[in-house]
Each structure stands twice: as C-alpha cells, then as structure tokens.
A and B are shown apart, each in its own frame.
Chain A
Amino acid sequence: MLPPATDSPRVTTLHRLSPTVKLGGALLIILTTVLLPRGVSWAYAMPAALVFLLWPLSGMTFVYIWRRMLLAEFFIVGFALFSLFHEAARPVFFSAFAKSNICVFTLLLLTWTTPFHLILNELRRWRLPGIMVTTLALMVRYLPVLVEESSRMQRARASRGFTRRKGVAWSNLTMIIGQLFIRSADRAERIYLAMCARGWK
C-alpha cells in the first residue's frame, strides 16, 4: 500500500535529482499536458513520449504501476464515459483519457522517486503555511501506525466470529473507526507532551 522504502539504497538517475527539479518538472509536464487543445491528437505524443523515456531512468516497477493505475483507471474511465454523451464525443473522450493517463504516470514517477517528506520540504520552501506542513508531516508519520491499529482491531473482531450479516459488519467497522479516533486523540495528547518535553513551544 505504501510507497517503497526510502532508506534502501537507490542509484537511479531520477532518484538523485533534487526534489525541487522533480516536483517542478512534474508540475510542468502536468500543466502542459492539461493545456493541450482537444482534437490535436499528435500533440499528446510529446508528453507521452517524455514520460515514457523517463520511466527506465526511475526504475519504477510494473507492480507499482499496475496497482496504482488500476485504481486511477476506475475514476478516469468513469468520468470519461460522461464525455461520450457530448456532441463532440470522440475528441473530448480521447483528450480526457490521454491527458489523465499521462498525468497519472507523471505523478507515479514523482511519487516513486521522491519520498514525501522531501516533497513536503519543497512545499515548505514554497511558503505552504506552517500548520499545514506540521499536519502533513504528522499525518504521513502516523498513517502506518493507525493502519496497523485498525488492522489489529479488525482481526480481533474477525476472530470473534465471522459473519456475513452486513448490519453486524457495519456496526463493527464503525465502532472500530470510533475507537481509532479516540486512540488518535489520546495519542495526539501524548505527542504534544513528548514534543514539549524536548523543548517545543
């Protein structure tokens, strides 16, 4: 589920680029792709070729692409279906489909080669408000902890008896989510104390 470990050694070209270049580059590619006019099919070949060429430089695995693109395609195709009702269906559909896929691939290259805390550093340099930086940092740090807690709670419930009844399943799930919130709030309190203990004001 989570992006690959960043502490394992990576020697690919794209990994070594500075986060500024990668984030800025991704933004540039996405913006140009999105601004491409409809009905000019050959123009899409350019950004598509670019990201395709960047792919081997990143070492991004098929497994990673497959898992992420599967979910993305669901939304892409879902939304693109609307365009088929358009008066000018074919160019609109093609344009939306091509643009979104190129952009998702670009984002995948970014997320594969750049650990989020480096992206966050960039955003901080680009003047993202402090409270959002803190929130994003803590969120990313504690997401695996909370996912682990919720998995544990689900396993505990499941081991107390498997049921197909939806009502019970919903009741269990919502109780787990409620518990998760309470534990998160308690943990937030302890984190505050731990931060203060090391001099945070």
Chain B
Amino acid sequence: MHLPDGFLDAKTALLSYGVAAAGVSIALRQVRSALKPREVPLLGLSAAFVFAAQMLNFPVLGGTSGHLVGGVLAAVLLGPSAAVLVITCVLMVQCLMFADGGLSALGANVFNMGILGVGSGYAAFRAAKWLVRSEDIRATVFASAFAGWCGTVLASIGCAGQLALSGTAPWSVAFPAMASIHMLIGVGEGLATGLVVLAVLRVRPTLVAGAGHGAGEGRFGVVGYGLLIVLGLVLFVAPFACPWPDGLENVARTLGFSHRAVDPLIHAPIPEYHLPWAVSPALATAFAGCVGTGVVFVAAYAMARLLVPAFEGGKKDATSGN
C-alpha cells in the first residue's frame, strides 16, 4: 500500500500531508507527556523491530508470501501514539533509505498506514474488548486480530480515496478493488497480529500496553485522532461514497477534465456499479462492508478460542487488577 510518487495530484498530496502532520503532532504531544525517559530508546528499537518484522515471509497461497505491516501490532504493544510515531519513522526510512514509497506521497502513506490504520485499528481493538467485556489473554488476542484486519481495510480505503480524488483512478474501480484485496490481505495481517500478541503475552505480558485497562489515551488523543480520521474520510472518501452515483462525474465536470470523452481502455466489469438487487450502490456497499466486518469479528473470536486453551484464556494478565 505504499503509494509511489506521481499518483497523487498536488491538492491531494498537500491535504494528506496536512492531516498526516496534524496526526503526528498529536502523537508527539501525547508521547512527550506520557513517555518516561527510560522508554525513549524503546521507540527506536520498536521502529527497527517493525521494520525487521515486515521483512519476514509468511507463506500464503501457492508460492506467494505475504508480509506483516505491523501498525496495529505496534499500537497494541506500545499504545496508539507511540505506534503513530513508530510507523511514521518506518515509512520515512523506507522512503529515504530504500526508495520504497514516494516522497511527495509520504504524507498520504503516513496518513493511511500511520494514522488511519493505527487509529481505526486501535479503536476497533478497544471496541472489541469492550464488547466481549473481558481483559484476559483470549480477549486481547481476539481484539488484536480483529483490529489488524480493520486497520488494513480502512487504510486501503483511504488510499483508494486519495487515488480517486487525484483523478488517477476512478472510485468505482479503485474502491472495490482496494477494499476487497485488503479484506483478504487483512485476514493475514489480523491473524499474524493476534498470534504475535499471543506470543508476547505468554512470555512477557507487561510489555503489551493494550493488555492493561485503560491508562490508554487521554481525551485529547482520542478526540484528536477521532477528528482526524473523520476529516480524512470526509476529504478522501465522502466525495465518492455519497448516495449520488454520478458524484464523480459532477466533480469531473466542475474541475474540467470530463471533456476527455475517450473510452476507457478496459471497461469496468460492473458498468455504473449497479447491483441488481440493491436499492442504491452506497447502501449495497455499506451492507457488504458490515457483513464482511461481522464475519471477520466472529472468525477472530473463534480463532482466539481455538488457539488459547481455556486455562490460559481465563487467566488475567499481569497488568489487570484482581
């Protein structure tokens, strides 16, 4: 999901940099106030850890392999603000040391993976734990897995929105493609996230920030990140996801590039994105999204039950009160 340079137009790149900078500022403020001096090297080592973890090959279908992104993992282990900083640094090094990901697109990448992915993932983590009303190992593992999936999917939607806003890709193609691909990829990410959290919880539960109850983010952080995520979705997704199917065409006409009445090279499989049985495309999309999320929620819960034996699952982790 690393956007290279040249896919985003000036306004989208600038907007992305803006929201990314705002998010990183919030993270800096939170980390500066909460981080003890002896934890400072941990940020650097965690960034190296995420990078090193991203390099490992997870066997997937056939001969292909997948990789962990680790944003939500970092959030569960270190807390969301530290994770924002860690992922931002990882992306910066990938760009400025390995030419992986564009420099003008760095803002967008930081926003998608660092803020949208981490923020929505962590929110899903807390929500999932709250829903099962438990603080034990099983709950943390299940919530991490579910959150890993959510973060991946949301990040990809942000990316699709940015491509559409830049006029590089039509929303009607980018969104379903990105979202469906990442719903699949997200399963791997979620599974890996849950398993790693389980591995750490079994040996050193005190290292998992997300396992304690709620020292978590202060109100400033919650409100700040929440607003930014909403803003990002408004900027990059809302113009396209609104119920008027010809929204993009309106935008195109206004911005003046609809005069190119050239036929697309490849015709979209579902012209005008109408599904036969749906009331409107937006509602159909929302419905599909909810169903998908629900399926993953249940699957993550089942996985956690399967992998964490009962005697361990009920055990309260070290940081929760008794």
Contact = CB atoms under 8 A, between A and B. Distances in A.
A137 B95 CA distance: 15
Interface stretch (B44-52, B238-246, B313-321): B44-52
A134 interface: yes
Contacts of B177: 82
Contact of B99 (A85, A108, A177, A180): A108
Given A169-B58, A176-B56, A177-B53, A103 B104 contact: yes
Contacts of B41: 138, 188-189, 191-192, 195
Contacts of A20: none
A1 B91 CA distance: 16
B170 A185 contact: no
Contact of A34 (B6, B77, B89): B6
B56 A192 contact: no
B164 to A, nearest CB: 9
B192 A174 contact: yes
Given A34-B104, A177-B56, A184-B48, A100 B207 contact: no
B283 interface: no
Contacts of A26: 103
Given A30-B102, A195-B41, A174 B10 contact: no
A174 B89 contact: no
B300 interface: no
Contacts of B280: none
Given A83-B168, A139-B89, A170-B195, A131 B32 contact: yes
B38 interface: yes
Interface residues on chain A, size class: 35 or more
A181 B5 contact: no
A14 interface: no
A139 B46 CA distance: 8
Interface residues of B, number: 83
A72 interface: yes
A134 B40 contact: yes
B111 to A, nearest CB: 16
A188 B7 contact: no
A3 interface: yes
User: In terms of DSSP, what is the predominant structure of the interface of chain B?
Assistant: helix
Interface in A75-100: 75-76, 79-80, 82-93, 95-100
Contacts of B96: 107, 110-111, 116, 119
A90 B262 contact: yes
A91 B52 CA distance: 38
Interface in A3-44: 3, 26-27, 30-31, 33-35
For the complex of A and B, the 7 pairs showing the least CB-CB separation, nearest first, are: A138-B44, A99-B6, A178-B199, A82-B169, A103-B5, A174-B195, A88-B260
Given A116-B93, A139-B93, 11 more contacts: A33-B5, A82-B174, A87-B261, A88-B262, A90-B262, A116-B97, A140-B48, A146-B45, A150-B52, A169-B58, A177-B56
Interface of A: 1, 3, 26-27, 30-31, 33-35, 68, 71-72, 75-76, 79-80, 82-93, 95-104, 107-108, 110-111, 116, 119, 129, 131-132, 134-143, 145-147, 149-150, 154, 166, 169-171, 173-182, 184-185, 187-189, 191-192, 195, 201
Interface of B: 2-8, 10, 13, 28, 31-32, 35, 37-49, 51-53, 55-56, 58-59, 68, 77, 85-86, 88-90, 92-93, 95-100, 102-104, 163, 167-170, 172-174, 177, 191-192, 195-200, 202-204, 207, 252, 257-258, 260-266, 268
